[in-house]
Amino acid sequence: MALFLHLRETLADAIAAATEHMAIAPTEIMRPPKPEMGDFAWGAFAVAKERKQSPAQVAQDVAAQLSTAQLRLVERVEAAGPYVNFTLNTDALMRELFAEIDRSNGRFGCLGADTGEKIIFEYSGLNTHKEVHIGHLRNHALGAALVSIWRSQGHEVHPVNFTNDMGAHVAKCLWWLMKKYDGKLPETDPVKRMEALADVYVEASKAFADAEESGDTAPRQEVSRILLAIEEDAASPEAALWKETRQWSLDGFVAVYKESDIEFEHWFLESDVKMNGKKRVMEMLDKGIAQHSQGAIIADLTTPENLDIMLLLKSDGTGLYATTDIALMDAKFAVFPEATKCVVLTDMRQAHHFAQLFALLRRDGATQGFGHIGYELVTTPEGMMSSRKGTIVRYRDMRDALIERSSTELRERHPEWPAEQVAQTARAVAFGAMKFTMLTVSSHQKIVFDMAAALSLTGMSALYLQYSYARIRTLLTRVNNAKGEIATTPLTHPTERALLLHLLWFADALAMASAENDPSVLARYLYELCQKMSTCYEVCRVIEEDGTVQQWRASLHAHTGEVLAQGLQMLGIPVVNAL
RNA sequence: GCCCCUGUAGUUCAAUGGAUAGAACACGGGACUUCUAAGCCUGAUAUCUAAGUUCGAUUCUUAGCGGGGGCACCA
């Protein structure tokens, strides 16, 4: 077990014993607001209420009963008003913590593997023939980070991808592609071709809207015809073009995932599961779970779930998102039959839809766990992004602008660097920046995207974390005994101890991030770690020192670097050795 | 109309009901012949309103005001 968790449990148990019958949860053991108060703290409020005593009295009683001899690593216990504060022995803490980091093998602060749930986790949800935009970026950054964070808590996670490759948007795109481009595009590079296809969709969308406005019904009829052809007639030229162009998008998506360092264990396509959805709806109709209404098929979820009417099949007999999602759930559990739970990550707008879906499946007898994690939208200062209004901020534009911006900066700073190193480092900076801006804000907070702000690489940014790591790496190349065993910590400055103690709390950041399904907890922890590291770095020089002082400081930085690298890895932020 | 999210410093965001509400940007001041100044130190500035619960409320409840989203043929 992680040292941190063990210490907290030990304290909780000891306090429970000292208060006789009270159950004390380990999470009641907190961090005091000021380091000089101690390393752990417990507030006596609840116990005081139970005992009808003053919290200060209870705190004093508990402190008096606790003996440091029985508490691992603790060298001081004292009551401070309503709190009991605990202080750890620095030398012992350093030895045990560093030993844990050294043997953790990239799993510092983590719980044992496969001790949790088996989760199918669906995220990303791109649409073929359409643009990848910065809203998807938020999904990707959150999803990939959640996979790591949940795994750190012992859950078995199977990340899967669901791609929407059918529907009106596809038909519109094909309509315009055939009409204006004769069904061909000149690009051969997978990414460029995907992007060109998405551009066709934007044109198509505008042309379609213009036609609608001017009362021209021909495009609408043509789009319906194409939609029907690709759904019903596999031998039609439209179906052939659909499959060809779909592949352009899918190839492009593979490249996007690869450059973002995202992996899926399975891909589901809407077209593969949609027809099964219709079948499932018909079964539900037979069972009485669904019913006819106004020519369509619905499920009435107004009571007891209070989830309104759920539309399952349109009056023209065609399916919709809900239809597909019913079958998709079957497909997921067919691929991962041992899974206990399925979690889906989308923006908040779909929360109602998924609440309905899960309620419907439970009515249908499903016993697995279902979860939806919603995050707030990414908007521009003008409001919601819309491809029709042309207000989409494209993923590729942001990526390219960031790469450009950081390349320029790097060339100026390191004129001696070879082009390849500049390019590689610029990508690390760009992808780090993109992900970090999406991860630091908690997921229930809307992000108003500002390109200028996103391009600024100061303050609370991924670059600050990457820069901190690079400084550690450089420092360590100049001392040769960073990994040597040390028995004592020749502390000369409070910043050293503050940094050491912050490393101990890493396990708490992981546990919190997982419990809240919120990677921003980890992102902010790492930022704080770097702040403490930077402060220490300025005040406590390493190279001009020698003997145990140098050894200790180098070791502190080395271990900080390892924890930082692990945390960044979990957030999907690339690390580089020089910046 | 009903439901969900949200309101904290000039701006963008933090804060399991607990000790003096923290950061970043912007603004003001400062240190360095010294391991990367994309850094460090330092200053000023904030809980939408009104009731309630509590020893204690930015946090919970109710009402109001403001912002965003959702609620049957879109995904």
Prior bond to A304 cis, omega within 30?
A: yes
Would the Cβ of A32 be found within 7 angstroms of any atom in strand B?
A: yes
The DSSP code sequence of A495-508 is: HHHHHHHHHHTHHH
A82 touches strand B (CB under 7 A): yes
**CA-CA-CA-CA dihedral for A77, A539, A520, A110, to nearest 10:** -60
The phi and psi torsions of A39 (rounded to 5 degrees) equal: -105, -30
- Token look-up 């093998």 returns A105
Residue carrying the six token digits 């067919």: A334
Residue A265 dihedral angles phi and psi, to the nearest 5°: -85, -20
Q: Where are the alpha helices (DSSP H) in A153-189?
A: 168-181
Q: In chain B, which nucleotides are within 7 Å of a protein Cβ?
A: 4-6, 12-16, 18-20, 23-26, 34-41, 55-56, 67-75
| Closest nucleotide to A414, Cα to C1' | B36
Q: What is the pTM of this model?
A: 0.96
- Report d(CA A570, CA A522) in Å as an integer: 9
Instruction: Provide, in whole angstroms, the distance separating residue A470's CA from nucleotide B43's C1'.
Output: 31
Question: CB < 7 Å to strand B — which of 288-317 in chain A?
Answer: 293-296, 298, 308-309, 311, 314-316
Q: A146 is written with which tokens?
A: 């959640």
d(CA A28, CA A24) in angstroms, rounded, equals 7
| Strand-pair category, A296-300 with A291-293 | antiparallel
Residues 6 or more apart whose Cβ sits within 8 Å of residue A139? A123, A124, A125, A345, A346, A347, A375
Q: What is the pLDDT along chain A (579 residues), one digit of tens a residue?
A: 899 999 999 999 999 999 876 789 999 999 999 999 999 999 999 999 888 889 999 999 999 999 898 898 999 999 999 999 999 999 999 999 999 999 999 999 999 887 889 999 999 999 999 999 999 999 999 999 999 999 999 999 999 999 999 988 999 999 999 999 999 999 999 999 999 999 999 999 889 988 988 889 899 899 999 998 998 888 999 999 999 999 999 999 999 999 999 999 999 999 999 989 999 999 999 999 999 999 999 999 998 999 999 999 999 888 899 999 999 999 999 999 999 999 999 999 999 999 999 999 999 999 999 999 999 999 988 888 887 677 889 999 999 999 999 999 999 999 999 999 999 999 999 999 999 999 999 999 999 888 888 888 899 999 999 999 999 999 999 987 666 778 889 988 999 999 999 999 999 999 999 999 999 999 999 999 999 999 999 999 999 888 889 999 999 999 999 999 999 999 999 999 999
Q: Round to a whole number and report the distance in Å from the CA of A533 to the C1' of B41.
A: 15
Sheet holding A309-313, edge to edge: A291-293, A296-300, A309-313
| Helix, strand, coil percentages for chain A (3-state, nearest 5) | 55, 15, 30
Nearest nucleotide to A447 by CA–C1' distance? B12
